Structure 1
Amino acid sequence: MKRMHSWLAGCMAVLISTALYAQTSTGADAATASPNTANAATQGGGKKVMRAENRRFSTTVQRAIYKDHAVSDADIVVFGNASTGQVTLAGFISDPDQEQAAVSTAGKVAGVKNVTSKLTLREEGN
């Protein structure tokens, strides 16, 4: 059963990451982008630098979530876009209160402007 949950979490992660990376910046997004990210995109590094920024941003949010003891046992993957401040949480939780705690904690991280939850409640005993 754990393998099936891990497999489903992996599939969700791939689907969500594909959707996030497929999006491109529009003029409105570029205007709200952080100066470091906007400069990095125009200075030769481009996509590589943006991906590194997104990974750092996502890791920062994920660490904050796992420091919160209310969600420490949940399987949550964070997908973040550093230039827009958009964060998507995906994975499995064992208690409905964990979703609210995860969203609240993610929203408190510096640079996060919007949090979308794609968390699934894991049923015990099945």
Structure 2
Amino acid sequence: MSDAAATRRPHGQLESDVLAVLWEADRPLSPGEVNDALGSALARTTVTTILTRLHEKDLVHRERAGRGYVYAAAQDASGMVASRMHTELSKGADRDSVLRHFVSALGPGDEALLRSLLADAGGTPERA
């Protein structure tokens, strides 16, 4: 295996790393600032490509800043996870079965939290 292959990131890891940098930022960042925050030896053009792909997926917003762009995450991390969950549920699978499996895998603390959230939202009454 080559050194490059041995140091490759898992599929999707760079996008996740870039999003993590944007979530931590208190303002939109340029590709160079994202690259600096990543602390890696990536080319700035690689980071720009990732940011462009994330923009095309509506995961980041961008705005003009001089001749280039600055980028910010479109939503926070928990919002993104919730969106992914909704996407998976809308793929046409048996929603009842998917939700049943999800709920059956919850630990007692998560189950109690989910019940509380559903009660607050008017979804179902709390069970003693």
TM-score, structure 2 normalization: 0.23
- Greater RCO (CA < 8 Å, at least 6 residues apart): 1
Whose strand fraction is larger, Structure 1's or Structure 2's? 1
TM-score, structure 1 normalization: 0.23
